[in-house]
Amino acid sequence: MTRAVYLAGGGLCCTAGSTPATVAEALANSSGRLAASALSLGERRFPYAALPGPLPQDADDWLRRAEAACRRAVAPLGALPGDVPLFFASSSFQIGHFEAQPAPRDLPPACASFVGRVAGRLGLDGVRHSFSNACISGQQAIQAAAAQIADGSIDDALVLGCELYNRSTAAGFAGMGLLSPTACRPFDRDRDGLVLGEAVAALQLSARPAGWRLAAVDSALDAFSPTGPTPDGSRIAALLAACLAEAALPPADIDLVKLHAAGSPTNDPAEANALRTVFGNAMPPLCSLKGSLGHALGASGVVETVALLACLDAGFVPPTAGFVTPDPEISLQPAVDRSNRPVRRVLLNGIGFGGGLAAMIIERSA
C-alpha cells in the first residue's frame, strides 16, 4: 500500500520569530539579515542565533525554556490527537540541562529521555521515535514518519525538531575551527564558517490532502570524511538523482533549490559540484536560510522546511542573507533579493557530520 503524504501544517520558534508567519515577515522585510546574539567561549566571541530572551542560567531554566519553545512551535497546529506518533529530531537533546547541573552529574540511560518529557508536556501519549544523526536528523525523522503514513501504518505524524543552547556543542565546533567569528556567508568567496542557532519547529504530516505534498525524501551516507562530503560532490549528486527518480521528476521540473549551504569553506563547494552535475546549465534559483536563521543542526531540516513553506505560502522566495561576493570555485549565486516568482516544486538539500546526506522534494498539491 502506498499513499500520498501531505504537509498538513507547521509551527516554528526561532531567532526570527515565534510563528511561521512572523518568521516569513521578518525574512521578507529585512532582506533576511540575521540579528545574532554573541556567544562567549573563553576569550573568543562568536555570533549566535538565539531565541529571544536571555540564555538559561541553571538546569531548571533550561528545561522550562525548552518546554515553552516546544509548546510555542506546536501551538499553530491546534489540537492534536493524544495518540499521534511523535518523531523527534535533535543533535543535542537536553545536554544544556545537564551542563547546568552541579557535579557530579547523573545522566539518564539515554539523552532521548527528554523526548518523553516533552511529549508529556504536549499531552501526547503515542509512540515516540528519536533521531540524532547530526544535521540530517530532521530529514530522517520526516522520512521515517512519511514511510509509515505511505504504507498505511499511521494516518498522521508530528515531526518535532529541537536544538537549543548548550556550551558543549558550541565549544566542539569552535575547537574544530568551524565557527565564523563574524557571519554566515553561504556560497560566498569570503565564507569562513558556521553560525550556530537555536530553533524548535513542528511539522504535521498526514494522509489527508493539504496544500503541499511530500513528493520524495531520501538519505544516504558519504564515507569520505567524518566532517565533510566527497569534494567532487558525487555522493550528493547521486542522492539528488535518486530523490528525483523517486518523485518521477526530471531536473527541469524543480523550481527552487533550498541549499544546505552553511558557509563552510569545504562543504559549500562540494554541494555546488553536485548541483552542477544534476542540473548542468539549467540551474534553478537557489536560496539558503542559514544566514537568516543560523544553523540549527539536528533540527535544521524541520526548521528550514517550515520557514521556507511559510515564505512560499506568503508568495515569495526568501533572500539569501550573507552572500555578497561570488566564489569562482563555486560559480553559483544564490538569490540575494526577495522574489515573487511562482514556485511549484522545491528540492531541499541536507549535509551532516559523519557523512549523512539527505534530500527532499515538496510540491504544491493543487
Encode the chain (366 residues) as per-residue pLDDT tens digits.
589 999 999 999 999 999 999 999 999 976 666 767 788 888 899 999 999 888 887 778 999 999 999 999 999 999 999 999 999 999 999 999 888 888 776 666 666 689 999 999 999 999 999 999 999 999 999 999 999 999 999 999 999 999 999 999 999 999 999 999 999 999 999 999 999 999 999 999 999 999 999 999 999 999 888 878 999 999 999 999 999 999 999 999 999 999 999 999 999 999 999 999 999 999 999 999 999 999 999 999 999 999 999 999 999 999 999 999 999 999 999 999 999 999 999 999 999 988 999 999 999 997
Catalytic residue among 184, 260, 287, 311: 260
Q: How far apart are CA 37 and CA 309, in angstroms?
A: 26
pLDDT at 103: 77
Q: How far apart are CA 231 and CA 332, in angstroms?
A: 16
Residue 316, Cβ neighbours under 10 Å: how many? 16
Question: Three-state SS for 184?
Answer: coil
Is 260 one of the catalytic residues? Answer: yes
Catalytic residue among 135, 162, 243, 311: 135
pTM of the full predicted structure? 0.96
Is 129 one of the catalytic residues? Answer: no
Domain boundaries, the chain: 1-366
| Ramachandran sector of residue 319 (left: φ over 0; alpha: ψ -120 to 50; beta: rest) | beta
Beginning with the edge strand found earlier in the chain, give each strand of the sheet holding 286-287 in spatial order: 128-131, 86-89, 156-163, 199-206, 6-14, 212-221, 356-364, 345-351, 256-258, 286-287
pLDDT at 109: 60
The CB-side HSE value for 109 (13 A sphere, CA atoms) comes to 1
pLDDT at 30: 62
CATH fit for domain 1-366, picks 3.40.47.10, 3.90.870.10, 3.90.180.10, 3.40.630.30 = 3.40.47.10
Is 111 one of the catalytic residues? Answer: no
Residue reference for cell 512519511: 146
List the beta strands (DSSP E) in 184-243. Answer: 199-206, 212-221
